[in-house]
């Protein structure tokens, strides 16, 4: 299938005021050599620094730049979804704002995409994170395997290119818990990857701490997979078998030796084992009930505060509809959307 080279680059921004200008310069230099038509969408996720001022400055002097500011910090994947829904070109490329994903490698992803794939990941040759961050990233990929498949999850990264039409598969998704990689599996099974450089972070520290990454992994397991529920069922079945064996032992001892099993320790151990298994299963069920409760509250995936850049009236209408904005299209255009 022949593919155009119109590209929308989506960058979630969090506390990156010192790297945005360099990122914009490198992105522009690369994209001008690949595509006659492109846009760069910065989604500012309320990091508390001057990133939004820098985005407004870039949009003011470059018509290719569009900026979206969220009302509060919603998270990287929520900001990505917002930018993906705002994209107008046929290919979406996502990358981090910290220059660890080299823009110069975008051409590799586009080339592989033209071979007939729908999603292509830029898998790092060697991740330039700290020890604990690397461990947490591996835990997250293990969690993603339950929802995406082992082969795909092994190559997942924040540096990805995919066909914009895939967003139709999750157009109505409204949960506050998001994994862009899982959502992409709803629209296609044609995944691939290419090996790319992964550079050390040039400024600041990652917003993803070990605790946040492990929490994200747990969210993936309970939010997009039924594996924990199946695990609870297996644990329950195993302890049922174990209980029957213990019962058989007690009855057998009574029939053979004419006495009961002595000792408080034996009884306490059995009670603790079964109580632990029950609480484990109840805890997993509670996680799923909590997610159902949160979805019933209809908490927004993200809320847009303001935008900069320029779209046509038709594009503004489409953007308004995809993001649930109530402003009149002319007002959106006047605000710079």
Distance CA 221, CA 42 (A): 29
Q: CB-based contacts of 93: which residues, under 8 Å, 6+ apart? A: 7, 8, 9, 10, 106, 109, 110, 160, 161
* Three-state DSSP state, 92: strand
Contact status, residue 277 vs residue 240, Cβ threshold 8 Å: no
Which sequence spans correspond to the domains of the chain?
Answer: 7-224+303-334, 227-296
pLDDT of residue 318: 61
**Arithmetic mean of pLDDT, 88-94:** 94
Q: Which of 83, 110, 112 is nearest to 96 (CA)?
A: 83
**Which residues lie across from 40 on neighbouring strands?**
9, 65
pLDDT tens-digit readout, 247-257: 787 777 777 77
Distance CA 311, CA 205 (A): 34
Residue-by-residue DSSP string for 288-331: HHHHHHHHHTT--S--EEEEES---HHHHHHHHHHHT--S-HHH
Which residue bears the tokens 């298994």? 277
Distance CA 45, CA 132 (A): 24
Pick the CATH number of 7-224+303-334 from 3.90.550.10, 3.40.30.10, 3.90.650.10, 3.40.630.10: 3.90.550.10
- Distance (Å) of CA 181 to CA 85, 158, 185: 15, 9, 7
pLDDT tens-digit readout, 93-147: 999 998 989 999 999 999 999 999 999 999 888 765 555 556 656 666 665 666 5
pLDDT tens-digit readout, 10-66: 999 999 999 999 999 999 999 999 888 999 999 999 988 899 999 999 999 999 999
pLDDT tens-digit readout, 159-206: 999 999 999 999 888 888 888 988 898 889 899 999 998 777 665 555
Give the global pTM. Answer: 0.75
């Amino acid at each position: 299938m022949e593919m155009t080279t119109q590209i929308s680059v989506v960058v979630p921004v969090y506390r990156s005021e010192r790297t945005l200008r360099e990122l914009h310069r490198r992105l522009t230099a690369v994209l001008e050599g690949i595509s006659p038509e492109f846009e760069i969408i910065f989604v500012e996720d309320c990091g508390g620094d001057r990133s939004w001022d820098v985005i407004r400055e870039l949009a003011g002097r470059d018509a290719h730049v569009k900026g979206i500011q969220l009302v509060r910090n919603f998270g990287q994947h929520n900001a990505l979804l917002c930018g993906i829904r705002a994209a107008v070109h046929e290919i979406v490329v996502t990358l981090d704002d910290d220059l660890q994903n080299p823009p110069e490698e975008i051409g590799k992803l586009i080339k592989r995409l033209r071979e007939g794939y729908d999603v292509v990941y830029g898998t790092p040759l060697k991740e330039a994170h700290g020890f604990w961050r690397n461990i947490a990233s591996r835990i997250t990929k293990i969690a993603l395997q339950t929802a995406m498949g082992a082969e795909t999850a092994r190559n997942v990264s924040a540096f990805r290119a995919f066909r914009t039409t895939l967003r139709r598969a999750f157009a109505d998704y409204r949960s506050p818990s998001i994994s862009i990689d899982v959502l992409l599996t709803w629209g296609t099974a044609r995944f691939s990857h290419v090996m790319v450089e992964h550079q050390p972070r040039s400024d600041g520290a990652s917003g993803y701490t070990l605790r946040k990454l492990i929490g994200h992994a747990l969210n993936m397991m309970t939010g997009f997979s039924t594996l924990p529920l199946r695990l609870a069922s297996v644990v329950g079945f195993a302890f049922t078998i174990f209980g029957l064996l213990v019962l058989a032992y007690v009855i057998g001892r009574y029939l053979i030796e004419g006495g009961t099993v002595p000792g408080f320790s034996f009884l306490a151990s059995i009670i603790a084992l079964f109580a632990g298994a029950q609480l484990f299963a109840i805890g997993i069920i509670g996680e799923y009930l909590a997610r159902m409760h949160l979805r019933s509250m209809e908490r927004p995936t993200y809320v847009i505060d303001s935008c900069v850049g320029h779209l046509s009236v038709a594009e503004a209408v489409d953007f308004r509809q995809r993001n649930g904005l109530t402003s009149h299209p002319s007002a959106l255009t006047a605000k710079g959307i």
